[in-house]
Amino acid sequence: MKRDRILLAHGGGGSLTRELIETVMLPRLENSLLKPLDDSAVLVMGNSGYAFTTDSYVVTPYIFPGGDIGKLAVCGTINDLAVMGAQPYWLSLSLILEEGLPLADLQTIIDSVHAAAAEVGAQVVTGDTKVVERGKCEGLYINTTGIGKITVPYWLGSANVKPGDAVMINGPIGEHGVAVMSRREGVAFQTSVTSDCAPLWPLVKTILDTGARIRAMRDPTRGGVAGAVCDIARASNVGIRLFEEAIPIGGEVRGACDLLGLDPLTIANEGKVLVFCGAKDAESVLAAMKSHPAGRQARIIGEVSARPEGMALLRTAIGGERIIDMPTGEDLPRIC
C-alpha cells in the first residue's frame, strides 16, 4: 500500500512519528546538534550550556479539565528544558488564531501562559500572531520555543542511561490524555480526572540539587511512558524493565482505558517526569522527589539492564514478562 500522505498517526509521538523524522527530516537537516533528538537541543556558547526547544500545540478542545492550551504550551516547553537539566528563562509565543475565536477565550489563554511562565520565573520575550479563516484551525494553535541554561556540569540525555540504573516517576500516569479524551466528540464520557499539566522545573531542581548524577529525564507526553522508555532504551542501547505493580495509576484512568481498550502506558502525561539515575542514588533522589508537592506519589518503577538491548519490557502483575512496544500513534476506541 502506498504511503504517500501524512496520517493522523504520524503526529502521535509513536513509531510513525519517529519514522517520519528519520526518513524525511533527519536526512535533509542533518547536523550533530539535531541528531540526539532529545527533548531539547543542547547548545554550547563559551563556557555555558543552553537548552533550546520548540513545540506546537494543537489540542482539541483548547480548554479542558485542568487547563488550557496556553498552560499546556508553556508547561510543555518548560518541561522539555527542565528534563535536560536547564532552568527555563525565555520563551517565544507564536499564535495561529481561527477567525471567530472568542476574545474572552484568548484572554483566558494568555493569562494561563503568563501564570505558567511566572511560576518558574520565565518570561515570554517575543511572539507572533496570525489569523486564518474560519475552519482552517480549531480555535487556535500555539507554537512555543524556549531557552534555558543548563545548571549541572554534566550532560543529561537519552543516550546516557546505563545498566543498573533505576527508573522513577513522580506520580500517577495517564491523567492528561484521559482528561482531554473525555471532552472529544465521539468518545465522550464523564470523568473527574483533570489534566496533570504542570511546570516541572521546581521538582527537577529539587532532584538536581541532591547532587546525584542524573543520567536522563524525560516527560512522557504523546506516546506516554511506553514511548518514552522505548526511545531511551533504543538511544542508550539498554534494556529497561518496568514493574507493572509499581506503576502508579488512578482508578478512573484505568477505568477509561478498560472502557476504550487503551493501554495506560501509551496515554499522554503533561506533569510527569521519568528520572533515570544510578542505583546508589535512587533512594536519595526518590526522597527528594517525595519532599516536593509535585512528587508526593513518586515511585521507583523499574530498572535498567544490559539486555535485551534497545528494548523495554514489563514485568506483569502475575510475574510474567512482555515487551512494551512503541505505540503506533493513534489511540482508537475499539470493540475487540
Partner 1 sequence: MCLAVPARIVELHDATATISVDGILRDVDVSLIEEPRLGDYVLVHAGFAIHRWDQSEVEELQAIRGATDLRETIT
Partner 2 sequence: MKTLVTNIEQQARQLGRDLRFMEVCGTHTMAAFRSGLRQLLPDSVRLISGPGCPVCVTDPSYLDAAIELCGRPGVIVATFGDLVRVPGTDSSLERERASGASVRIVYSASDALVLARECPSKHVVFLGIGFETTAPTVAWAIWRAARDGLRNFTVLSAHKTMPRAMDMLARDPGMRVDGFICPGHVSVITGVQIYRFICERYAIPCVVSGFEAWDILKSIGMLLGQIVEGRAEVENEYSRSVGEYGNRAALELMNEVFEPRDDVWRGLGTIPGSGLGIRDKYARFDAAKVLDVKFTEAHVNPLCRCGSVLRGISTPLDCRLFAHPCSPTHPIGPCMVSSEGACAAYYKYERVVA
Alpha-carbon distances, residue 324 vs 56, 63, 124, 227, 320 (angstroms): 27, 32, 38, 9, 13
320 binds, among partner 2, partner 1, none (CB under 5 to 8 A by kind): partner 2
> What's the first-to-final CA gap in the chain, in angstroms?
24
Closest approach of Cβ 336 to partner 2, in Å?
A: 5
CB of 261 to partner 2, least distance (A): 7
Site stretch for partner 1 (CB under 8 A), options 5-13, 44-52, 239-247, 305-313 = 239-247
CB atoms within 10 A of CB 159: 17
The yes or no reply on residue 335 touching partner 1 (CB under 8 A) is yes
Give yes or no for residue 321 binding partner 1 (CB under 8 A). no
Write down the least CB distance from residue 219 to partner 2, Å: 23
Residue numbers 166-185 binding partner 1 by CB under 8 A: 172, 182
Torsion region of 328: left, alpha or beta (phi above 0 gives left; psi -120 to 50 gives alpha):
alpha
Out of partner 1, partner 2, none, what residue 27 binds, judged by CB under 5 to 8 A for its kind, is none
- Region binding partner 2 by CB under 8 A among candidate stretches 88-96, 151-159, 271-279, 309-317: 309-317
Q: What is the dihedral of CA 277, 281, 287, 290, to 10 degrees?
A: 0
**CB of 289 closer than 8 Å to CB of 272:** no
Q: Is 261 near partner 2 (CB under 8 A)?
A: yes
The residue written with cell numbers 534497545 in the block is: 310
103: part of which helix (H) or strand (E)?
Answer: helix 103-119
Closest to 139 (Cα-Cα) out of 95, 185, 184, 101: 101
Whole-angstrom Cα distance, residue 43 to residue 317? 42
- What residues make contact with partner 2 under the rule CB under 8 A? 1-3, 5-9, 15-16, 19, 186-187, 260-261, 308, 311, 313-323, 325, 328-330, 332-336
- What residues make contact with partner 1 under the rule CB under 8 A? 172, 182, 188-193, 245-252, 254-256, 258-259, 261, 297, 317-318, 334-336
